[in-house]
Structure 1
Amino acid sequence: MAEDALDTIPAELLAPVGNILIRIEDFPDEDTEREMELESPFDLLGLYRGVDLTRQSVAAPRAEPDMIFLYRRPILDYWCETGEDLPAIVRHVLIHEIGHHFGLSDDDMERIEAME
């Protein structure tokens, strides 16, 4: 489903992403829960881990690749609670996390999502 959602994201957003890894996990790990101060592991649908493009520097090489995490159980729980279209939820989370890779604002991400 994540791959299908990626196919619907505008090319101008995906082209500069490069080799960002997308991982599907059931829940955020305990370190992430503490770092994000989550009340519940269901509170986080996705997460971008990395250095956004506005802060990257060739003078400061990074040891780990940029990653997007999609948290399966919270996404499914959100889907059950809201009745929204599941592929649309996955697409929304992906766009939001890719947006963080670019250092985009929430308004920028909303405009991108509205594009067909």
Structure 2
Amino acid sequence: MRHNTPPSLEDILELAEQALAAMPAVLREQVRGTAIIVEDMPDDETLEEMGIEEPWELTGLYRGVPLTQKSVLDTPREPDTILLYREPILLEWIETGEDLFGLVRNVLIHEIGHHFGLSDADIDRLEKEN
């Protein structure tokens, strides 16, 4: 994907959907029903909740109940959501020169890891092993 203007919210969502479609079917099945939403920036409430002072540090966020904590007896709640933050992703893209698709894919995979109940440390360890 070539861009003459900064990639839009829709462009980032399209990249995320392509990345999800390229994942193994067994993984896609586990995240079925999880909404993927792209926003420009995290809101102040989210930053405060996460204890993050610099909004540019947050490229993605998983909101929901990890699979490891779900039960068939649970009452239905709001759907699990993976939020991707366009402007912090674009800043990292500019600063690192990494392929934009690869960057969006990595953020998406990181947040899917949280969906599976993995901590940041677990995800970092797995990323270093691959």
- The bucket for the TM-score relative to the shorter chain is 0.7 to 0.9
1:94-113 map, 5 Å: 94-104=108-118, 105-106=122-123, 107-108=125-126, 110=127
Task: Give how far 1:11 is off.
Answer: 2.1
Distance 2:39 2:23 in 1: 21
Q: Report the equivalent of 2:41.
A: 27
Which runs of no fewer than 5 residues in structure 1 stay unpaired?
none
Task: Give how far 1:111 is off.
Answer: 7.8
1:49-68 map, 5 Å: 49-68=63-82
1:9-24 map, 5 Å: 9-24=23-38
Q: Report the equivalent of 1:92.
A: 106
Task: Give how far 1:7 is off.
Answer: 2.0
Q: Which has the higher contact order (CA 8 A, sep 6+)?
A: 1
Structure 1's 5 and 22: CA in aligned 2 closer, same or farther, altered over 3 A?
same
Q: Report the equivalent of 2:93.
A: 79
- State the one-letter code of the partner of 1:41: P
TM-score in terms of structure 1 length: 0.87
**Comparing 31-40 and 68-77, the one that deviates more:** 31-40
Q: Report the equivalent of 1:7.
A: 21
Task: Give how far 1:37 is off.
Answer: 1.3
Provide runs of 4+ in structure 1 moved above 3 Å. Answer: none
Q: CA RMSD in A?
A: 1.7
Q: Is contact 1:41-1:74 (8 Å) kept?
A: yes
Task: Give how far 1:14 is off.
Answer: 1.2
Q: Deviations over 1:75-112 (max 9, x none)?
A: 0000001111110000001111111111133134x289
Q: Is contact 1:48-1:98 (8 Å) kept?
A: yes
